[in-house]
Chain A
Amino acid sequence: MITSSLILSAILFVLGTFGVLVRRNAIIIFLCIELQLNAVNVAFVALSRLVGIDGQIFVFFVMTVAAAEAAVGLAIIISIFRHYETVDVDNFNLLKW
Chain B
Amino acid sequence: MVEILFYVFAAVAVGGAFGVVLSRSPVGSLLAMVATLASLAVIFILLEAHFLAAVQVIVYAGAIMVLFLFVIMLLNLGHDYRRDVKGGVFALISFGVAGGIAGALIRQLRGGAALDAFTSPAAQAIDAAQAEQGVVGAFAQPLFTTYVVPFEITGILLLVAIVGAIVLAKRHAV
Contact = CB atoms under 8 A, between A and B. Distances in A.
A30 B49 CA distance: 26
Contacts, number: 233
A8 B105 CA distance: 11
Interface string A52-76: 1110110111011111111110111
B59 A63 contact: yes
Nearest to A43: B105
Contacts of B72: 27
Nearest to B17: A15
A79 B173 contact: yes
Range, interface on chain B = 35 or more
Contact of B20 (A32, A63, A81): A32
Interface of B is mostly: helix
A32 B36 CA distance: 12
Interface of B: 2-3, 6-7, 10, 13-14, 17-18, 20-21, 26, 29-30, 33, 36-37, 40, 43-44, 46-49, 51-52, 55-56, 59-60, 63-64, 67-68, 71-72, 74-75, 77, 80, 84-86, 90-91, 93-95, 97-98, 101-102, 105-106, 109, 112, 114-118, 120, 122-123, 125-126, 129, 138-139, 142-143, 146-147, 150, 154, 157-158, 160-162, 164-166, 168-169, 171, 173
Interface of A: 1-8, 10-19, 21-25, 27-28, 30-32, 34-35, 38, 41-42, 45-46, 48-54, 56-57, 59-61, 63-72, 74-79, 81-82, 87-88
